[in-house]
Amino acid sequence: MRIACALVMTLSVLSSVVLPAQETLAAEPASIQSQSIELKSSMDKLETELVAKYGESHRARLRRGMTQVANFWRAEDGDAAAFAEFVRTNFAGEPATLDTMFSRLQSNLEQLDGHMGEIGREFRQQSDLDLGPILGFDDLFAAYDPAAHLNDDFFKNKLAFVVLLNFPLTTLEQKLSEGDKWSRRQWAETRLAQRFSKRVPAEVNLELGRAYAETSKYIAEYNIWMHHLIDEKGNRLFPPKLRLLSHWNLRDEIKADYSDAKDGLAKQRMIQQVMDRIVTQTIPAVVVDNPNYDWNPYTNEVKPTTVKDFDESKAISGPGVSLNAPEPNTRYAKLLVAHKATRKVDPYSPTAPTHIDRSFNESREIPEARIKAILEQVLSSPLVPQVARIIESRLGRPLEPFDIWYNGFRPRGTYTEAQLDEIVAKKYPTAEAYKKDMPNLLVKLGFSKERAEYLANNIVVDPARGSGHALGAAMRSAKTHLRTRVEKGGMNYKGFNIAVHEMGHNVEQTLSLNDIDYTLLEGVPNTAFTEALAFVFQGRDLELLGLEKPDAQSHALKTLNDFWGTYEIAGVALVDMAVWHWMYDHPNATAAELKDATVSISRDVWNKYYAPVFGKRDVVLLGVYSHMIDSFLYLPDYPVGHMIAFQIEEQMDKAGNIGREFERMATVGSVTPDLWMKKATGAPVGADALLAATQKALTDLAAPKK
Chain segment 249-299, per-residue pLDDT in tens: 999 999 999 989 999 999 999 999 999 999 999 999 999 999 999 999 999
pLDDT for the residue 554: 84
Q: What is the mean pLDDT of residues 169-177?
A: 90
* Cis status, amide bond into 247, omega within 30 of 0: yes
Domain spans in the chain, listed from the N-terminal domain onward: 9-196, 222-312+321-327, 415-544
DSSP secondary structure string for all residues of 402-437: GGGG--TTSGGGGS-HHHHHHHHHHH-SSHHHHHHH
- Cα 123 to Cα 495: distance, rounded to the nearest angstrom: 24
Q: What is the DSSP-derived secondary structure letter of residue 283?
A: S
Chain segment 73-97, per-residue pLDDT in tens: 988 999 999 999 999 999 999 999 9
Q: What is the mean pLDDT of residues 102-116?
A: 97
Q: What is the DSSP-derived secondary structure letter of residue 327?
A: P
Contacts of 679 (CB under 8 A, 6+ apart): 668, 671
Chain segment 298-313, per-residue pLDDT in tens: 999 999 998 988 876 5
Q: Rg for the chain (alpha carbons), in Å?
A: 26
Chain segment 192-238, per-residue pLDDT in tens: 999 999 998 889 988 998 999 999 999 999 999 999 999 999 999 99
Q: Given a cut of 50, is residue 354 above it in pLDDT? A: yes
- Cα 115 to Cα 474: distance, rounded to the nearest angstrom: 8
Residue 5's pLDDT band (cuts 50, 70, 90) = very low
Do residues 513 and 496 lie in contact, with contact meaning Cβ atoms separated by under 8 Å? no
Q: What is the mean pLDDT of residues 397-425?
A: 88
- Cα 359 to Cα 427: distance, rounded to the nearest angstrom: 40
Closest listed residue to residue 79, CA positions, set 31, 41, 39: 39
- Cα 221 to Cα 492: distance, rounded to the nearest angstrom: 19
Closest listed residue to residue 280, CA positions, set 628, 632, 600, 617: 600
Question: Of 578 and 173, which is predicted with more confidence?
Answer: 578
Q: What is the mean pLDDT of residues 608-628?
A: 98
- Cα 595 to Cα 482: distance, rounded to the nearest angstrom: 34
pLDDT for the residue 10: 34
Chain segment 577-605, per-residue pLDDT in tens: 999 999 999 999 999 999 999 999 999 99
State how far the alpha carbon of 239 is from the alpha carbons of 225, 408, 484, in Å. 10, 22, 22
Which run of H or of E encompasses 132?
none
Question: Of 472 and 21, which is predicted with more confidence?
Answer: 472
Do residues 323 and 286 lie in contact, with contact meaning Cβ atoms separated by under 8 Å? yes
Residue 552's pLDDT band (cuts 50, 70, 90) = confident
Instruction: Please report, rounded to a whole number, the percentage of residues in the chain having pLDDT higher than 90.
Output: 73
- Cα 82 to Cα 84: distance, rounded to the nearest angstrom: 5
pLDDT for the residue 146: 87
- Cα 620 to Cα 256: distance, rounded to the nearest angstrom: 21
Q: Given a cut of 80, is residue 467 above it in pLDDT? A: no
Closest listed residue to residue 91, CA positions, set 62, 67, 68: 62
pLDDT for the residue 316: 57
DSSP secondary structure string for all residues of 637-704: HHHHHHHHHHHHHHHHHHHT-HHHHHHHHHTS-SS-HHHHHHHHHSS-S-SHHHHHHHHHHHHHHHSP
Chain segment 491-532, per-residue pLDDT in tens: 999 889 999 999 999 999 999 999 999 999 999 998 888 888
pLDDT for the residue 3: 42
- Cα 477 to Cα 195: distance, rounded to the nearest angstrom: 22
- Cα 634 to Cα 363: distance, rounded to the nearest angstrom: 10
HSE-CB at 193 with a 13 A cutoff on CA atoms is 22
User: Considering the chain, what is the average pLDDT of its residues?
Assistant: 90
pLDDT for the residue 524: 94
Q: Given a cut of 90, is residue 704 above it in pLDDT? A: no
